[in-house]
Amino acid sequence: KAGVTQTPRYLIKTRGQQVTLSCSPISGHRSVSWYQQTPGQGLQFLFEYFSETQRNKGNFPGRFSGRQFSNSRSEMNVSTLELGDSALYLCASSPGTANNEQFFGPGTRLTVL
Amino acid sequence: GNSVTQMEGPVTLSEEAFLTINCTYTATGYPSLFWYVQYPGEGLQLLLKATKADDKGSNKGFEATYRKETTSFHLEKGSVQVSDSAVYFCALTGSYNTDKLIFGTGTRLQVFP
């Protein structure tokens, strides 16, 4: 069974631009979560989607948004990029029943110049 | 709210030494507890988990026991290898109807031959 895939793997943008990251979960998984990893703040939860509905949301500004499609694939969007948005963005999927382990993708490394 | 506290790193050991990485948590209800590992340049991999008090999770020689009385989930391995060098994250999910993970800050392990 294929693992979680994320595209692109690396991205360089400039301040003020917007970016869209994509995540394809493990086949059959209905829940997708996104996390931001930075050296200063560690791993922080962005949001969680289940069956196309946002089930949970972290403490990030409205510039960060996401969605999930009917095939469970998910995208996250960051508008008006700031230097502090430079991070590794990790996507994770799980079957969707609560308190399950999550399976992580390799991440998208975003650099904002 | 729910939180996870891990010992600061880096932890530096010689090959075949005994490893302990401390993890304590604060949570309401009955969280599930996890250890994830991150190798350089990669995403997170689930190492082991425990879903109720006194459960012992184990994998690849690593073990951790869910101790509700001390709110701890310490990671141990009897004999580390150079290939175990990585960052280890303790995490929990504690809320109903979500797979959201709350992570500790991570502990870097360096094993020398």
Does the CB of A60 have a partner CB in chain B at under 8 Å? no
Q: How far is B29 from chain A (nearest CA, A)?
A: 12
Chain B partners within 8 Å of A96 (Cβ): 99
Q: How confident is the model at residue B41 (pLDDT cuts 50, 70, 90)?
A: confident
The sign of the dihedral angle between the CA atoms of A76, A79, A84, A86 is positive
Answer whether residue B94 shows pLDDT above 80: no
What's the whole-number mean pLDDT along residues B26-48? 91
pLDDT in tens, chain A (113 residues): 689 999 999 999 999 999 999 999 999 999 999 999 999 889 999 999 999 999 989 999 999 999 999 999 999 999 999 999 999 999 999 987 766 789 999 999 999 99
Size of interface A-B (CB pairs under 8 A): 60
Chain B residue closest to A42 (CA)?
A: B105
In 3D space, the residue among A54, A41, A52, A50 whose CA is nearest the CA of residue A89 turns out to be A41
Contact A33 B51 (CB under 8 A): no
Answer whether residue B14 shows pLDDT above 70: yes
What's the whole-number mean pLDDT along residues B41-65? 94
- Cα B107 from Cα B110, distance rounded (Å): 10
